[in-house]
Chains A and B, each alone.
Chain A
Amino acid sequence: MTWKRICGTTDVAENSIKKFNVDGVPILLVNYGAGYRAIPPICPHMEEPLEESGVVVRCILTCTKHLWAWNLSTLELQGETEKPLKTYDVKQEGDAILVKVEEELKYEFDDESADDDDFFK
């Protein structure tokens, strides 16, 4: 359990998304105005790269490929979205943004070791 510096407070503009590599783990940091979310770099729907397909407006992150969307403040699923976002804990300390990375978060379609029951998760 370790907090790692991912970037500075001025590195990710409001309503934008930036990809970082924290000890080999790819992480998107999303600044939604009221706070930050650190998430895996792909959409849980069809593995679209959210750094490119994602748009953040009024606390809502939308993957513009197939319109799955989440409220970043509450993590509520919006519209027809069927899977939740996974998130890393984030905190701000001084002018640094820190994330807690215990292991890389992956969605089930990435998990080669899982059995077939991963399909619905």
Chain B
Amino acid sequence: MKITVQSKTGEAAFDCGIHETILHAGLRQGLSLPYECATGTCGTCRARVVSGEVDVRWKEAPGGARLKPEKGDILMCQTRALSDCVLKVPSDIVVVEKFQPAPRRGIIRNIQKLTKDVAAFDVHLSEPMTFEAGQFVIVESDKWAGGRAYSMVNFNAEADRIALVIKRKPGGRFSDWLFGECSGDAELAVFGPLGRAVFRPDEDKNILCIAGGSGIAGIMSILERAVQADYFRTHKGSVFFGVRTLQDTFYLEALSRYVAASHGNLAVTVALSDEAAVTPSHLDFPALQLASGMVHEAAANAMGGSDVDAIAYIAGPPIMVDAAIRVLIRGGMGTRNIRYDKFG
């Protein structure tokens, strides 16, 4: 099928297969279609069908709450084309050349429980994938409906293995399956890389990272990339990692290793929302500082004048991301310096 998108910047056309969403089809062919979560929750990829026939698979997607279906409004991430279509898309569309996402097959291996409700797993890819630090993929399986977004934890070029983190949600079909009956070696469809909350060493700025729970995943990739490039020899970094209690922490060893490799320029603070931090640093991981309270408050308290020019990366549950964005804007940071994924 041929999809034509009309935007303020003109018209563009691309092919769309019967089994892929319009969003995936456009992105893999290098078009900068608007999206954030790519999984139906944010509403950023809205478009209006001018002509053609489409199939919307998740009609109740929360991101579609403000659409006007009677006018042909859709979310491109939830819609397949049944015929050639013409769409209007309300933002600028250009062709991008770098790291175009593509569909791959993946095999789940090495599931490891990190806390009572967080697990790490690897996905071995049918084709290597090059991605930027901070990006994510959508995974899908015939065992559950709809795609789920997960940020890569690792960082290397031409990766044939990606490391992902999942938080168990009550009633979450994928997480129940992964924590329960999945014995490993299960097959998934993987689409990526996606996401614009990326870290590039050539931007030459200090970095400030605020993560809640499993949102630390993408931050780990950013830190890995930074340490590989010895970025902290000449730049400062602050990481605020929010969890409920000390029992809910993970990746502390890896975080300690990054601090040790930072020439004293990386500070990591673990913020505990549901219990008091009784010591200033972690007893078992003394390179990591502890704070009591919500992670965005810990970040606000530590924010100094020089942080205004840093690039901020925020990842976690939507409500935490919103709170952290407010803190940074109130602290004087400009919108161009704030990057986040809000797929929760």
Contact = CB atoms under 8 A, between A and B. Distances in A.
A67 B90 contact: no
Chain B CB within 10 Å, residue with most, of A53, A58, A120 = A120
Given A116-B48, A120-B8, A64 B332 contact: no
Interface stretch (B141-149, B163-171, B232-240, B321-329): B321-329
Contacts of B92: 82
Contacts of B8: 120
Contact of B326 (A55, A66, A109, A119): A55
B91 A65 contact: no
Contact of A119 (B48, B322, B329): B48
Given A55-B329, A57-B332, A58-B332, A47 B66 contact: yes
Main secondary structure on chain B at its contact with chain A? mixed
Nearest to B339: A67
Contacts of A116: 48, 50, 71-72, 88
B44 interface: yes
Contact of A65 (B322, B332, B338): B322
Interface in A59-83: 62, 64-69, 78-80, 82
A78 B335 CA distance: 8
Interface string B46-71: 00101000000000000000100001
A55 B330 contact: yes
B128 interface: no
Interface residues of B, number: 24
Interface in B75-126: 88, 90-92
A34 interface: no
A9 B323 CA distance: 29
24 contacts: A46-B43, A46-B44, A46-B66, A47-B66, A55-B330, A57-B330, A62-B329, A64-B322, A64-B325, A64-B326, A64-B329, A65-B322, A66-B36, A67-B335, A67-B338, A68-B335, A79-B334, A79-B335, A116-B48, A116-B71, A116-B72, A116-B88, A120-B7, A120-B90
Interface of B: 7-8, 36, 43-44, 48, 50, 66, 71-72, 88, 90-92, 322, 325-326, 329-330, 332, 334-336, 338
Interface of A: 46-47, 53, 55, 57-58, 62, 64-69, 78-80, 82, 109, 116, 119-120
Q: Which 5 A-B pairs have the closest CB atoms?
A: A67-B335, A79-B335, A64-B325, A55-B329, A119-B88
